[in-house]
């Protein structure tokens, strides 16, 4: 079995990151078997190197190695490309064609971007993995193939399975062994080493001096997120090699080649509020309105309770206030004959001695009539009385009114008390 260092030199893999070394180690260990392998990692991390390592170190190394980019083949022709077709199977099929699984019999097929396969093709691929059988498009004859499948994807397979875009059974068949390649941003110590290798290669290619980075540029290189990973780093090295006359590059100059780090990038200032801003304002307004509605309901309830739940010592006083509210005048100005005999009898009975039926009879008409009065006036009157009773102490008045001190303070400002 070859060592990790020997494999790196053979396939020109640079870097000493532990995760990278572990990925190569797993590839070396699984190569002599026929186990299906799934290589995962972000786009541009170099996933295509792993299938080459596996094929070269396997007993299939003398067989064919075919790499298929599943995302680059149209959905209508992917089945024909992989499994072949019979003459006349569809428009344009003028002759019988062998697919990749037939051609690569005894070798290895690398399915890059396997997460992009259509569901119908996934079913066909699952059959190949399970028993090595496939059927050409337009044929009914089952054919056998002995192919080692290595797949790669930058798609989050678990999310794709949840969304119904990838078959769960196929995922587990492909990922008998899963090899993960880390992103370049997680290999900070390898970034400058890779850049120097790329710069040296492009210097030879374009016959010019090698680009060299100053210390501040190296530091910037390691801080950059590298969303395009190794592929993006290689492109930056090539751009600098071709475009820069000065072969020593500082951080200030390097920033011009790194998206998001330019000095003269235009600032984007929103010209109007976004939908989320208006949504937040609406939510706040609705909350204020609901709070006001609750306050009003509390005051209505409190008004009714104050009318109904007085103690015996306050019966006379509350009755006087009640008469004044109902009839618009004081008790002294009302003659007994002005009040219906039935209500007068109930009114003269202390509240605790009244039966529920008497209370309901006396207050039913009055409460209904009170609803037609101005609620704002009632609210103002109750607040004034409570503040007078407690000598302007807001906390005590708020407790009596059954509202928060903050709400009471808002009402005081509202009514300019």
- Per-residue pLDDT tens over the stretch 283-334: 777 677 777 777 777 777 777 766 666 544 454 455 555 545 444 544 444 4
pLDDT at 103 over 50: yes
Q: Give the range among 27-31, 252-256, 404-408 with minimum mean pLDDT.
A: 404-408
Are 142 and 35 found together in one domain? yes
Structural domain tally of the chain? 3
Interacting residues of 304 by C-beta distance below 8 A, sequence separation 6+ = 363, 367
Q: Which of 182, 202, 235 corresponds to the end of one domain?
A: 182
pLDDT recorded at residue 326:
46
Does residue 316 contact residue 324 with C-beta atoms inside 8 Å? Answer: no
Does residue 154 contact residue 112 with C-beta atoms inside 8 Å? Answer: no
Question: Mean pLDDT throughout 251-259?
Answer: 91
pLDDT recorded at residue 402:
81
120-131 pLDDT per residue, tens? 999 999 999 999
Q: Give the range among 144-153, 252-261, 297-306 with minimum mean pLDDT.
A: 297-306
pLDDT recorded at residue 407:
82
Nearest residue to 73 (alpha-carbon basis) of 116, 102, 104, 115: 116
pLDDT recorded at residue 261:
65
pLDDT at 200 over 70: yes
Q: Average pLDDT, whole number, for the chain?
A: 82
Are 293 and 327 found together in one domain? yes
pLDDT at 185 over 60: yes
Nearest-Å Rg of the Cα atoms of the chain is 42
Q: What is the CATH number of the domain that holds 222?
A: 1.10.8.60
CA distance 227 to 185: 8
Indicate the pLDDT class of residue 114, thresholds 50, 70 and 90: very high
Does residue 181 contact residue 45 with C-beta atoms inside 8 Å? Answer: yes
Are 100 and 207 found together in one domain? no
Residues recorded for the chain: 417
Are 174 and 212 found together in one domain? no
pLDDT at 37 over 70: yes
Are 121 and 204 found together in one domain? no
Choice between 323 and 353, residue whose per-residue pLDDT is larger: 353
What per-residue string of b and e applies to 36-72 under the rule 16 or more CB within 10 Å gives b? bbbbbbbebbbbebbbbbbbbbbebeebebbbbebee
The answer to the question of residue 243 being in a domain is yes
Are 316 and 233 found together in one domain? no
CA distance 111 to 114: 6
Domain that holds residue 325: 275-415
Share of the chain above pLDDT 90, in %: 57
Q: Which of 127, 160, 182 corresponds to the end of one domain?
A: 182
- pTM exceeds 0.85: no
Q: Give the range among 34-38, 214-218, 352-356 with minimum mean pLDDT.
A: 352-356
pLDDT at 23 over 90: yes
Question: Mean pLDDT throughout 371-399?
Answer: 77
Choice between 48 and 280, residue whose per-residue pLDDT is larger: 48
Are 200 and 158 found together in one domain? no
pLDDT at 372 over 50: no
pLDDT recorded at residue 334:
44
The answer to the question of residue 307 being in a domain is yes
Nearest residue to 15 (alpha-carbon basis) of 228, 212, 192, 223: 192
Are 213 and 169 found together in one domain? no
Question: Mean pLDDT throughout 168-196?
Answer: 94
Share of the chain above pLDDT 70, in %: 77
Q: Which of 152, 182, 212 corresponds to the end of one domain?
A: 182
Are 37 and 60 found together in one domain? yes
What per-residue string of b and e applies to 82-121 under the rule 16 or more CB within 10 Å gives b? bbbbbeebeeeeeeebebbbbebbebbbbbbbbbbbbeeb
Are 170 and 205 found together in one domain? no
264-285 pLDDT per residue, tens? 444 444 444 455 555 666 677 7
Are 246 and 291 found together in one domain? no
Complete DSSP assignment for 364-404: HHHHHHHTTS-HHHHHHHHHHHHHHHTTT-HHHHHHHHTS-
- Region of 157 please: left (phi>0), alpha (psi -120 to 50) or beta: alpha
Indicate the pLDDT class of residue 352, thresholds 50, 70 and 90: low
């Amino acid at each position: 079995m070859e060592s990790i260092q020997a494999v790196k030199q053979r396939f020109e893999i640079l870097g000493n990151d532990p995760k990278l070394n572990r990925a190569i180690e797993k590839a070396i260990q699984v190569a002599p078997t026929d186990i299906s392998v799934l290589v995962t990692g972000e786009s541009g991390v170099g996933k295509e190197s792993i299938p080459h390592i596996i094929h070269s170190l396997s007993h299939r190394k003398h067989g064919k190695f075919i790499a298929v980019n599943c995302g680059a083949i149209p959905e209508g022709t992917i089945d024909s490309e992989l499994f072949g077709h019979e003459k006349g199977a569809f428009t344009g099929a003028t002759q019988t064609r062998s697919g990749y699984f037939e051609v690569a019999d005894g070798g290895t097929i690398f399915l890059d971007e396997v997460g992009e396969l259509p569901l119908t093709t996934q079913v066909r691929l699952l059959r190949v993995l399970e028993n090595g059988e496939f059927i050409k498009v337009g044929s009914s004859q089952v054919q056998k193939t002995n192919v080692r499948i290595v797949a790669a994807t930058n798609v989050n397979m678990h999310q794709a399975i949840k969304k119904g875009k990838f078959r769960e059974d196929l995922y587990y068949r492909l990922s008998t062994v899963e090899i993960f390649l880390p992103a370049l941003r997680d290999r900070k110590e390898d970034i400058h080493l890779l850049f120097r290798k790329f710069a040296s290669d492009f210097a030879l290619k374009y016959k010019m001096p090698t680009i060299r980075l100053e210390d501040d540029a190296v530091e910037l290189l390691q801080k950059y997120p590298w969303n395009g990973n190794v592929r993006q780093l290689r492109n930056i090295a090539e751009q600098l090699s071709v475009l820069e006359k000065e072969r020593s590059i500082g951080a200030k100059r390097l920033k011009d080649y790194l998206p998001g780090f330019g000095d003269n990038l235009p600032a984007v200032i929103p010209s109007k509020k976004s939908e989320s801003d208006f949504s937040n304002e609406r939510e706040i307004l609705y909350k204020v309105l609901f709070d006001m509605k609750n306050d009003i309901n509390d005051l209505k309830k409190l008004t009714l309770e104050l009318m109904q739940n007085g103690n015996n010592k306050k019966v006379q006083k509350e009755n006087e206030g009640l008469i004044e509210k109902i009839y618009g005048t004081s008790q002294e100005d009302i003659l007994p004959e002005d009040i219906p005999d039935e209500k007068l009898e109930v009114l003269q009975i202390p509240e605790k001695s009244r039966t529920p039926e008497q209370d309901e009879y006396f207050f039913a008409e009055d409460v209904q009539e009170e609803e037609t009065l101005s609620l704002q006036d009632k609210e103002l009157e109750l607040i004034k009385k409570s503040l007078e009773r407690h000598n302007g102490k807001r906390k005590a008045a708020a407790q009596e009114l059954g509202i928060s001190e903050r709400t009471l303070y808002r009402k005081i400002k509202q009514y300019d008390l």
